[in-house]
Structure 1
Amino acid sequence: MEKRLKIFAKLVLMLSVLSLVVGASIPKNDPDITLKIRTYLNTFRINYAPEKVYIHQDKNLYVAGELIWLKGYILDAASLLPTQKSAVLHLELRNDREETVMKATLPIEDGMAIGDMQLGESLPAGTYFLVAYTQWMRNFGSKDMFQRELQVLQKKGEVQTEASPSGLPDLQFFPEGGHLLAGQTQEVAFKAVGPDGKGLSVKGQVFDQDGNEVVGFEDFHQGMGSFQLAPKAGTRYHALIIEPVHLQQRYPFPDPIEKGILLQVDENSDNEHILINLHSLNAGSQNLSLLAIAGDNLVKATDVFVEESRKVSLSLVKNDFPIGVASLVLIDRQGVPLAERLLYIEKEEPAMISIGMDQSNLDFRELVNLQLTHTGSEPAEKLDLSVAVISEDQAGFHSEQENIKTYLLLSSDLKGHIENPYYYFDPANADRKKALRYLMMTQGWRRFEWNTLLEQRLPEIRHSSEMDLQLWGRLTQENGKGIDRGEALLFLQDRYQSFITTESNQQGYFAFQGFYFRDTIDLVIQGSDRRGNRSGVQVEIIDHLSGLEPPIYTLRLPTGKITDIPGNYISTMQYQFQASESALSGIALREIMLDEVVVEGRAEVNEPFRLHRRADATFTREQLPIAPSGNILESLQGRVAGLQIIPKGGFEFRAVIRGQGSPLFLLDGVMISESAVQGISQFDISRVEILKGPGSAGIYGGQASGGVIALYTRRGGEDTEIDPDSGRHIIRYRMGGFTRARQFYVPKYDGSEGGYYQFPDLRTTIHWEPSVRLEANARQTLSFFTADTPGTYRVIVQGISDKGSPVYATHSFQVGN
């Protein structure tokens, strides 16, 4: 026994000495580099919290005058959980000249924003782009903003096509890992793009500088593929395209380098592991780190010891990664990247939603009961969904088009346009994993520049997060210099009982925050300097969204045309989509502010105001004759064409505009009855505005069918009227609020609604349900009627789970066969 203990002690001593020798010959990697990278990523992910926006719209093709039905998903970019940074979503529709033709603003609640945009009836046919972003997203550049191409059709129903662009194809080569290493056989990926910007199927040949053919190549999917190449030191290479046409254009390769690290990654052979091979061509040995980054998080940092001309193999567990795009970066002790590779982490996931129907072939105007069932295996996972049902041919649906799953997990993390992204997700495509590998090798990009990361330089925050609607402005002197610590007062126009104030900063800028309302409101902003003087003060309103750089349009529609839409399509759609009008009359300031905003009280306003910029007639008290009765209505007798003042007896009068009945009466912007007007003395009125017809009175809707008579009482200091557009210390401003959401109209063919029967039902959006929430194992039924359009109808379900998993499913059925 004692002998065995002595032998064991000698073995321990030998192992200890050996470990000291090995430790001295293999220096540990600098832990500060990995710590710096981890700290930077954690700070960026948690404190800066970039966002992703995805818009589910009902379809791709529209005609002028139609509504775009939409739902926005505004999520934290790393976790895909509802954003905590923003409560306001901005939408713009831009034409192909980068001009904004429409805007909308939607409130965000629990990461969701529901609304619509009505296309103008005179909107020209052509290509447009729907752009969506939050104010917070502007800090990270336009590349992160959501954008999608859509088409507005000509009346005959065809997509407006442009002449095919001319020019030579583009062909680029991407050695795996980033460098072409001399003397080593390595995989070289390539991508061929036609003049139209889409992938081009090609065949080609690689030649050395002496004209010797080295290898041939052929694309595997949409212009992408790879081949093996063993480049020689000091030799240059180029390629020629021989199909679809033989071109003499030479496409050069990057020059081979003699030193470096060969990185080879196999993400497809093993379902559970990522297999990695490293081969060093550098002299001596090196202690390196292989970093695995996904979701703005350092998932894994592995120390790797490499020696010259020796291969090192290792593997990473896929379950350690979230689903989506990941980056492998090999760095040295100083943090310099030596090789890099993007890959997509895919995991087998059961479908979370199933779509069911009682039958798959239906007649025109037949009732459909569509059943959505939560089938996820995780019992606690809840789904927030939106559902569109469209006529597939007329709405422009493509089976491989972008959806919430492809965008959040793939497209939003890659550079440039990805053609038919659902091809890479559809299990029916047997070669999709191989094609996806080529996509990751040719279309990857880094969110971070390594110098920026190592130097711990975080993005400059120039735009604050928006949790409410805001109004920005500036107080200046007549020479344009900003007024430091001036005061801006904000009133609702013609409602002076309450106000809020704010102080300007050193440059004169001010902001009012805490608004929450829909449509528009008329405001009055008055400015003064720190001493309360208004003389020489000018108020300017600033668009805080100005200076938005144009986004890079990467979500493009598939090519192709649709069948003709009938010529009476537009007129029949107008019955279904009635544009709703609304008016905010008699509203108080407290009603449009969030609870935490303090409405301060009453203030004196020293200038008179107009409520209606386009009144048909306006009279000041000096312009009206003195009525014997003192009744303000009598003083208007014979003053306005089309206005009749009819005596009712005593000192009371009745007003009728163009024989349309009693007008709407307003006193300082508040609705009052005609009987209340009888008690108002003309000597208490400073101004009267008359609105005769729908053109000027339309903002008040049906209650102003008889026109409007707006009365304004006298206030102290009203000796002269000052035009608020003159840029002095007080201005009137119409502020846009959240866009009022409409309810999707569903015709009923069960006899309860007769008005729709007289029209042909040519809808292409058959049903739109923006908010469907399902608990685990729950089921919900959506009911609607088919239209008169025959063919394939497509159900499209998109959404997100409360754990950040994108949900996408489709179902089709036939109508009218």
Structure 2
Amino acid sequence: MKPSFSIICFRISLLFLCIFSFLTGFSQENTNVIESYATYSKLPREIAYVHLNKSIYIKGECIGFSAYILDKNTKKPSSITTNLYCTVSNKDRSIVKSQMIKVNNGYAVGTFDVNEDFTSGDYKFMAYTNWMKNFDEQNIFVESIKIIDPETDNIIKSETIENNLDAQFLPEGGHLVADIQNTIGIVVKNTEGFGVPQITGEILDNTNTAVSSFKTNDLGIGRVLLTPIIGQSYTAKIEHLGKTFNFNISDIKPRGIALSLTDLGKNVAIKLSTNTSTLSDIKNNTYKLAIHNGNEMKVIDFGFENLDVLKLIKKQDLNPGINIFTVFDKTNKPLLERLYFNHDKVNIRSVNNPKVSKDFDSLKVSFSVNQLSANTKHNMSVSVLHSDTKSYGSHQNIASYTLLQPYVNGYIENGAYYFQNIDRKKKYELDNLLITQGWSSYDWNTIFNKPPTNTFVFENGIGFQANINSKKSNQFLMFALRESKGDVFVVGDSEKSFIKTGLFPSDNEKLNIGEINSKGKMDEPNLYIQFSPSKIPEYINSYKVLKPNSIPYTVATQIQPFASSILDGTQELDEVLIEAKREETRMEQLERRAAGTLDFFDDRKRRSNRTLAQYLSRKGFVTSDYGGILTITVRNPLTPNNTTPVVYLNGSLLSDFGFLATFDMNSVDYIEINKSGVGEGMRGGAGVIKLWTDPNIQFRSQYGENYKDYEFPLTFSKAKTFYTPKYNFYKSQFFKEYGVVGWKPKVVLDTDGIARFQVFDTSNDYIKIFVEGIDNDGNFIIDEKIITVN
């Protein structure tokens, strides 16, 4: 539809009236507002988001999750955070499950077993860091999940909701002023707090005459224009399911200022209006229009010469994502506030060409991602469910929770809707939502008077202080952990303690410390160890959340027992179900997971292989360490023009072998040799060598084993293999609506730019994938796709 002549004239007049004020209006003299805001926003913020594999769980299943920690300002993965706390709590706020997981470059994965600790009911999943406790804004992740215990609830059926509506009529900017055309945001909800779709109504004056009408969208949100007149009263009338509801529109102010925002494409127009009874009193006053996003602020001075003040702002001068417009009077008192979302420079990648093929009892799934190359670092997580699932009811995705939720008061229903398949309609509906939000999560009383302090420290692993009760020497040796190097502490004669930070113990690891005596051997030390953190910190602030998205039920669903679940003693290891627990030795576990042949070292083998070159030559490689430089080649590579094998040291790919000429074989734990290069693509044509060391071997050999164990009160939980229950029936209604096909927490594109993974073939015709992720440039990856299984 072409714009009308009046709209065109309005836009031209806006450009004519506003362009000069925009170019000259940004002020740096409003020190009270600007300096207070700068102090408030000085400390860096991060946002936690968690992608859950679904929202409704049957007791006996497993909660799989991937956590994303992003810099709140740049919206890029955080490179700083290491300690993330994840909890599941019941309706009484009692924590049922908790764990600390390690974050690497903004990403972490974990699982919770839905075991005997759970009963039927609603629970909250929370994820946060200790640092996030310094801020009132909702930077933590919180989402509602539902647990169903078949022993007490063996049928899932629809709930009857009383026909009782709650409607709110919220003026844009915060004030409904007489004799001014006001935009009013409308929210209509049911007793569960969910928006009621497609509600129609009208606004009546005190003569019962309809002065305006409105209609809500599928989420119960809409807007209406109203010019209230002094002396009149107004009522909103809604008829729903045979029942009439009346809501008073009150608090009409006879004097004041109203705000209206209009999106003009490349620009945003801000209209500030007052009435004649107010203009004479405020004509000589100076006001401020502040624009911020929680990090940066700009301020425009303005005053009223006429009833309307117009400001035109280029979108390129706004922040990507949320922009908060606040109007202050001459005393720096905030009067009005409006949230606006700028879609420019917000990039959301979708999934291209999802495909599936059968391979025995598995499905091979593959897809590419729009505008994402394999060279760009990224992380993705994928939940795979049946296409008819009713169990995936999260209100958020990574974009909505990062770009929208932290900036509003209250919880956004179905925030994910606004960030999938974005078009003009969704942009309009998102703006309607923001009109209804009123004031943002940034409280100006707090900004002016209570800026945050770093009361809660930014944690980096676990640290300890070793208090020395008595000592025989001045040297103490700390053994290495799986992910932390060992250390030697030399203390002065008068020193009573030593400290260590940045340790990453996992699961049942212990801290081993010995005291080096005068003979160069270890004795048990007499120490008192204090660890920090020593427990999962409690997050006191409580945020309201909605239950998982409600999908209308047509019939009751009978819950069927699992053929096997986490409750019956079976385990799933590397996608294979085994029917009994079996204790495996460490060697067996490593060999089962290795692509090549493992060679475990003992003291005899370390003595017989003095250099790495000597060892590898015995294994068929051509080696030379002439001149202190190690070279490794193969005679008959599987790929031409590539005679150098791929070499890893403790999981890290080496680009230079130079220092391996002096590699200490006394620290070798085991070496894996994979001459076929399977798993490394083209670069593995000359084979793969993986070196694994354990510095504690050398410590024990040199100093003996007379050390002392100290138990960590809190350790990092290692990510366990996600357990998919084995179902008795895969064609049943229960499986289609609530069953799990698979969960893949770590999916990345291969060198061909394709994401690939396998799930169990349930012999159904359709599956649905839910993809979420982000790349290191801050571009989101979000999509839902139904895939036909051929």
TM tier, smaller:
0.5 to 0.7
Matches within 5 A, 1:625-774: 735-744=713-722, 764-772=740-748
Residues 243-297 of structure 1: per-residue CA shift (max 9 Å, x gap): 344346x533342223322211112xx3211122222343224433322212522
Q: Does 1:464 align with 2:457?
A: yes
Q: What CA deviation, in whole Å up to 9, does each residue of 1:748-779 have, x standing for no partner?
A: xxxxxxxx99998987232514152678xx51
In structure 1, what is the Cα distance between the partners aligned to 2:348 and 2:218?
27
Residue among 169, 176, 192 paired with 2:165: 169
- Which residue number in structure 2 is paired with residue 336 of structure 1? 333
Distance (whole Å) between structure 2 residues aligned to residue 771 and residue 553 of structure 1 = 32
* Contact persistence 2:352–2:368 (CA under 8 A): yes
CA–CA separation in structure 1 for the residues paired with 2:441 and 2:203: 32
Shift of residue 439, structure 1, vs aligned partner: 0.5
**Residue 363 of structure 2 corresponds to residue 389 of structure 1:** no
Change (3 A) 1:143 1:789: farther
Larger Rg: 1
> How many Å separate the matches in 1 of 2:305 and 2:358?
69
Change (3 A) 1:282 1:758: closer
Partner in structure 2 of residue 787 of structure 1: 761
Could you tell me how far 1:738 is from its partner in structure 2? 0.5
How many residue pairs align between the two structures? 604
Change (3 A) 1:225 1:571: closer
1:180 to 176, 179, 182: 176
Which residue in the other structure is 1:222 paired with? 219
Separation of aligned partners in 1, 2:511 and 2:170: 58
Q: Percent identity?
A: 22
Which of 166, 189, 192 is residue 188 of structure 2 equivalent to? Answer: 192
Residues 248-263 of structure 1: matches in 2 within 5 Å? 251-263=247-259
The alignment partner of 2:253 has SS state of: coil
Contact 2:561–2:727 (CA under 8 A) maintained in structure 1: no
- Please say if 1:143 is aligned against 2:131: no
In structure 2, C-alpha distance between the alignment counterparts of 1:472 and 1:373, rounded to whole Å? 48
**Counterparts of 1:339 and 1:758, CA distance in 2:** 59
Would the alpha carbon gap of residues 379 and 128 (structure 1) be closer, same or farther in structure 2, given more than 3 Å must change? Answer: closer
1:161 and 1:55 map into 2 onto residues whose CA distance is 28
Deviation at 1:82, TM superposition (A): 2.7
- Structure 1 residues 423 and 542, CA gap change in structure 2 (3 angstroms): closer
SS of equivalent to 1:75: strand
CA contact (8 A) 2:51 2:772 kept: yes
Q: Which residue of 2 aligns with 1:93?
A: 88
CA distance in 2, matches of 1:538, 1:767: 40
CA shift in 2, pair 1:383/1:59, >3 Å = same
Shift, 1:521, TM fit: 4.7
> Which residue matches 2:781?
807
Helix, strand or coil at the partner of 2:252? coil
2:391 is aligned with what amino acid? G
| Cα distance in 2 for residues equivalent to 1:39 and 1:768 | 46
**Offset at residue 438 of structure 1 (A):** 1.5
Instruction: Specify the alignment match of 1:517 in structure 2.
Output: 505
Q: Residue 175 of structure 2: SS of its match in structure 1?
A: coil
Aligned letter for 1:370? S
Map 1:138-537 → 2, pairs under 5 A:
138-141=133-136, 143-155=138-150, 164=160, 168-201=164-197, 202-208=199-205, 214-247=211-244, 251-267=247-263, 270-280=264-274, 281-283=278-280, 284-298=283-297, 300-308=298-306, 310-347=307-344, 352-358=349-355, 365-373=361-369, 375-376=371-372, 382-394=377-389, 396-397=391-392, 401-427=395-421, 431-455=425-449, 457-470=450-463, 513-521=501-509
Counterpart Cα distance in 1 of 2:248 and 2:728? 66
2:68 to 69, 73, 76: 73
AA partner of residue 315 (structure 2): K
SS in 2 for 1:386: strand
Q: Is the contact between residue 154 and residue 160 of structure 1 (CA under 8 Å) also seen in structure 2?
A: no
Q: Contact between 1:404 and 1:798, CA under 8 Å: does it hold in 2?
A: yes
Using the TM superposition, give the Cα deviation of residue 154 of structure 1 relative to its aligned residue in structure 2, in angstroms: 3.5
Q: 1:54 Cα shift?
A: 0.7
Show the counterpart of 1:726.
none
Quote how far apart the aligned CAs of 1:329 are: 1.6
Match for 1:128 among 118, 123, 129? 123
Determine if contact 1:363/1:786 at 8 Å carries over to the other structure.
no
Helix, strand or coil: the match of 1:197? coil
Q: Alpha-carbon deviation of 1:129?
A: 2.0
- Give the SS at the match of 1:735: coil
Deviations along 1:494-544, whole A, 9 cap, x unmatched?
xxx999899xxxxxx99974431111356799xxxxxxxxxxx99999965
C-alpha separation in 2, matches of 1:379 and 1:512: 38
Give deviations 1:35-61, integer Å, cap 9, x for gaps.
44444444544x411110011222223
Deviation at 1:90, TM superposition (A): 0.4
More deviation in 757-766 or 211-220? 757-766
1:546 offset after TM fit, Å?
4.8
Match of 2:772 among 791, 798, 810: 798
Task: Output the CA distance in 1 between the equivalents of 2:321 and 2:487.
Answer: 52
Corresponding letter in the other structure for 1:468: G
Indicate the SS of the match to 2:109: strand
- Indicate conservation of the 8 Å contact 1:142/1:550, yes or no: no
Q: CA deviation at 1:190?
A: 1.9
Pick closer, same or farther for the CA change 1:48–1:760 going to 2, 3 Å.
Answer: same
2:172, 2:374 → 1: CA distance? 42
> What are structure 1's unaligned runs of at least 5 residues?
1-22, 476-488, 503-508, 526-536, 585-714, 716-729, 748-755
Shift of 1:91: 0.4
RMSD: 4.8
Relative distance call for 1:789 and 1:551 in structure 2 (3 A) is farther
Q: 1:39 to 1:794 in 2, by over 3 A?
A: farther
Going from structure 1 to structure 2, the CA distance change for 1:381 and 1:521 (only over 3 Å counts) comes to closer
SS in 2 for 1:144: coil
| Deviations 1:666-697, CA, capped at 9 Å, x for gaps | xxxxxxxxxxxxxxxxxxxxxxxxxxxxxxxx
Instruction: Give, in whole Å, the separation in 1 of the partners of 2:490 and 2:110.
Output: 32
Unaligned runs of 5+ in 2: 1-20, 469-475, 480-485, 492-496, 514-527, 587-705
User: How far is the alpha carbon of 1:71 from its aligned partner?
Assistant: 1.5
**Quick one: distance in 1 between partners of 2:75 and 2:155?**
35
Q: For 1:79-123, what per-residue CA distance to the aligned partner results, in whole angstroms no more than 9, with x for missing partners?
A: 112335531000001122322111111111111112222222453
Superposed displacement of residue 168, structure 1: 4.2
Report the Cα offset of residue 556 of structure 1. Answer: 3.6
Please say if residues 169 and 184 of structure 2, whose CA atoms lie closer than 8 Å, have aligned partners that are also in contact.
yes
1:779 is paired with a residue of what secondary structure?
Answer: coil
Partner of 1:651: none
The amino acid across from 2:460 in the alignment is M
User: Measured at CA, do residues 490 and 276 of structure 1 come closer, stay the same or move farther in structure 2, by a change above 3 Å?
Assistant: same
- Residues 388 and 163 from structure 1, CA distance in 2 versus in 1: closer, same or farther, beyond 3 angstroms? closer
CA distance in 1: counterparts of 2:727 and 2:336, whole angstroms: 67
Distance 1:222 1:191 in 2: 9
Q: Name the residue aligned to 1:8.
A: none
Q: Secondary structure at the match of 2:99?
A: strand
Between the aligned partners of 2:354 and 2:147, the Cα distance in structure 1 is: 32
Give the partner amino acid of 1:176: E
Aligned partners of 2:385 and 2:741 also within 8 Å: yes
Tell me how far apart the structure 1 counterparts of residues 724 and 714 of structure 2 sit (CA, whole Å): 29
Q: Distance in 2 between matches of 1:436 and 1:387?
A: 26
Normalised to the residue count of structure 1, the TM-score between the two structures is 0.63
SS at match of 2:430: helix
Query: CA, structure 1 residues 350+449, in 2 after alignment: closer, same or farther (shift >3 Å)?
Result: closer
SS at match of 2:783: strand
